[in-house]
Amino acid sequence: MKQISLSDKCILITGSAGFIGANLVLSLLKSTGHKNMTIIGVDNVNDYYDVAIKQYRLKQIEEAAKTSDSSWIFYKKSIADEAFIKELFEKNDIRVVVNLAAQAGVRYSIVNPDAYMEANVMGFYRILEACRHADTEHLVYASSSSIYGDSTDIPYRVDAPTEHPVSLYAATKKSDELLAHAYSKLYEIPSTALRFFTVYGPAGRPDMAYFGFTDKLRRGEKIKIFNHGNCRRDFTYVDDVVEGIIRVMQGAPEKKKGEDGLPLAPYSIYNIGNSRPVDLMEFIDILAQELKSAGVLEADFDIKAHQELLPMQPGDVAVTYADTSALERDFGYRPSTDIRTGLREFARWYKEFYLS
């Protein structure tokens, strides 16, 4: 592994108005260990979910940039825009790239596949092409736990088979891994895929279950619980994910030669998950408790009366469970925030953002 200093570097973070991307930018701007960075953010700020939350994140970044010794530049553009990406790399000495831009959502991919092909496949291809012609020290990009499909071989290991995705979203993420490996092999671009597991936290994505549940419960509506509640998810707090990304950014796969004298692909894959799957019904109970404590729900709110049990949805899986041994081995890091602590922070943010 090649150690990379982030100080004095130009770093491109795509999807920087998104949930993980914005938190990554904020962490870097507030960091005392990484100095004098030029952080370039790119995001098309689409309306897949409430744009006000994306604007809130961008405002937080702008405020943090005012007191940071690193600089922040933002472009409201699509990474699928070939001319823009080419010009961006030509005009800036971008050394580290973190590609988090993507059309998210499993179920939305079933009804609107074009958005996924443009952002997740064509957009990522534009990034790979730009890295091929630049002096890129490390390309880190978001994959997803969804590529493991409905495998029953848990916990999911990074070397497990991933040839049978059960959603178009998962298929595009698998495509990204294959494309990145090919580019890494052909052009010796140090590349690392990060498979994220159900990331949650303050100012998260409204299309995620915990956020949608909160919206519905606050309105007194019933929440739909699929597979009759027989689901377990490896919920991973966003701060833990960001810490993992920053550690990985600084450790690029080394360029090496194989026995045939030809370059081996400088390519790695890591799971970033909490490695402690939570039963969905327990999760809902803890969420309700923390929403009551934060004042989002009334203290006597009957959570059981607001549940509707339904069969499994297309594209969903019953269990997600990360094996993070590779991340622990190479970076000495494992996410550790427990579900109650994470949901407490989300509930407090929700109260402040929507009800204050």
**Whole-angstrom distance between the N-terminal and C-terminal Cα of the chain?**
48
Going along 79-137, which residue ranges are E strands?
94-99
Which candidate in 169, 210, 237, 350 is catalytic?
169
169 is catalytic: yes
Question: Which residue from 121, 230, 97 is spatially nearest to 174, judged by alpha carbons?
Answer: 121
Query: What is the H or E stretch that residue 196 is in?
Result: strand 191-196
CB within 8 Å of 167: residues ≥ 6 apart = 106, 107, 109, 110, 146, 314, 315
What whole-number distance in Å separates Cα of residue 172 and Cα of residue 141?
13
Q: Is 108 left (phi over 0), alpha (psi -120 to 50) or beta?
A: alpha
Find out whether 188 and 310 touch, Cβ atoms under 8 Å.
no
DSSP per residue, 218-277: HTTPPEEEGGGG--EE--EEHHHHHHHHHHHHTEEPPP-B-TTSSBPP-EEEEEE--S--
The Cα 10–Cα 57 span in angstroms is: 21
Which residues form the catalytic set?
169
